[in-house]
Amino acid sequence: MALYLLRRLGFIFLTLLLASIIIFSITQFLPGDVAQMVLGQFATEVAIENLREELGLNLPLHIQYLNWAAGFITGDWGDSLVSRMPVQPMVMQRLGNSAMLAGVAIMIYVPLGIALGVIAALKRDRYPDQAITAVSMAFVGLPEFVTGLLLIAIFAIGLGWLPANSSIDPGSNFVQAFPYLILPAITVSLTGLGYIARMTRSGTIDVLDTDYIRAAELKGLPAAQVLLRHVLRNALLPTVTVVAMGIGWLLGGLIVTETVFGYPGLGRLLVYGIQRRDLPLIQAGSMIVVAVYSLSNLAADIIYGLLNPRIRLGR
């Protein structure tokens, strides 16, 4: 297991290296001149050239990349070109906000999706299975901004139970932010719920049809023991992959949900940086998303080993 972890960490390092090259290269081809956008359309050529020299934009691209990569590794992520504030605290604060939203969403849709998937598998091709499949997939196909607006109309405007706007104060802890997280978390959960339920249903059905499950049932083992100790242990392997991939998406891809509810997450920060061509902000935020994806996949592989010893032993 130690050797496996070392190999996976090496692969993560390679992934981050390649991602940093790709991210840096893409940001160089964004339309518009960075210095011009920072200083405004009425800036003189002399002022623009001075700023380009100050930011190191006149250096060869490979030198710019090496300087940026070295600074990122050492924790110096530079200053925002727009706000002139250090990038690292801005990104980490938004990452914390997105992590709170992602945590609430995962606590909602993962156990609920697994439970619905198991029920659908046990009631295969019957009414509960058909109802769960139809409803869950309907929410998957429904755009997030539609779901969010419906929830706002019902629970915020109609019933007045929850706030319609999720613009939390900077530095808010989880307890303070929780009421503002419920509606956006439900919006996200309704999208991910269908994938979890369908994957769990498929995996559970496959395991239920295996010989060792039939043997366990013929031995007279209680149905709950067969389900919890034998079926779910193997049926949840594909679901773990979906959950791991969903973590990265939750932290970096919730642009629509964050915009609808005005939530200050990492996705909105990246859009803000792209709109203003704030290169240090774009690069740092994108690298954080890649790192989260990589670490969540590593966590999924470790959970694989815990659920299935054959994977842990490399068989």
Q: What's the burial of 80, exposed, middle or buried (CB within 10 Å: 0-12/13-18/19+)? A: buried
Q: What number of helices (H) and strands (E) belong to the chain?
A: 16, 0
Structure tokens at 204: 């559970």
Helix (H) or strand (E) holding 194: helix 174-208
Q: pLDDT value at position 135?
A: 84
Q: ∠ at Cα 189 (256, 163), nearest 5°?
A: 65
Q: pLDDT value at position 2?
A: 72
Q: pLDDT value at position 22?
A: 92
Helix (H) or strand (E) holding 70: helix 61-74
Please count the CA atoms within 13 angstroms of the CA of 70 that sit on its side-chain side. 6
185-194: burial string, b at 16+ Cβ within 10 Å, e else: bbbbbbbbbb
Average pLDDT of the residues in 71-92: 86
3-state secondary structure of 86: strand
C-alpha 124/C-alpha 122 separation (Å) is 6
Average pLDDT of the residues in 172-189: 87
pTM equals 0.78
Which domains are assigned to the chain? 2-74 (no CATH), 88-312 (1.10.3720.10)
Q: pLDDT value at position 32?
A: 66
Q: Could you tell me the pLDDT band of residue 158, with boundaries at 50, 70 and 90?
A: confident
Q: What average pLDDT does the chain have?
A: 81
In DSSP notation, 144-183 reads: HHHHHHHHIIIIIIIS--S-S---PPTT--HHHHHHHHHH
Backbone angles phi, psi at 86, to 5 degrees: -60, 135
Classify residue 99 by its DSSP letter: H
Higher pLDDT among residues 146 and 52, named by residue: 146
Question: Taking 80 as the threshold, does the pLDDT of residue 30 lie above it?
Answer: no
Is there a contact between 208 and 231 (Cβ–Cβ < 8 Å)?
yes
264-299: per-residue pLDDT in tens? 888 888 888 888 888 888 889 889 988 888 888 787
Residue 103 neighbours by CB distance under 10 Å: 15
187-244: per-residue pLDDT in tens? 888 877 888 888 888 888 888 777 777 777 677 777 777 777 777 777 777 777 777 7
Q: What's the burial of 171, exposed, middle or buried (CB within 10 Å: 0-12/13-18/19+)? A: exposed
Average pLDDT of the residues in 170-184: 85
Question: Taking 50 as the threshold, does the pLDDT of residue 313 lie above it?
Answer: no
C-alpha 129/C-alpha 246 separation (Å) is 24
Classify residue 35 by its DSSP letter: H
- The amino acid at 115: A
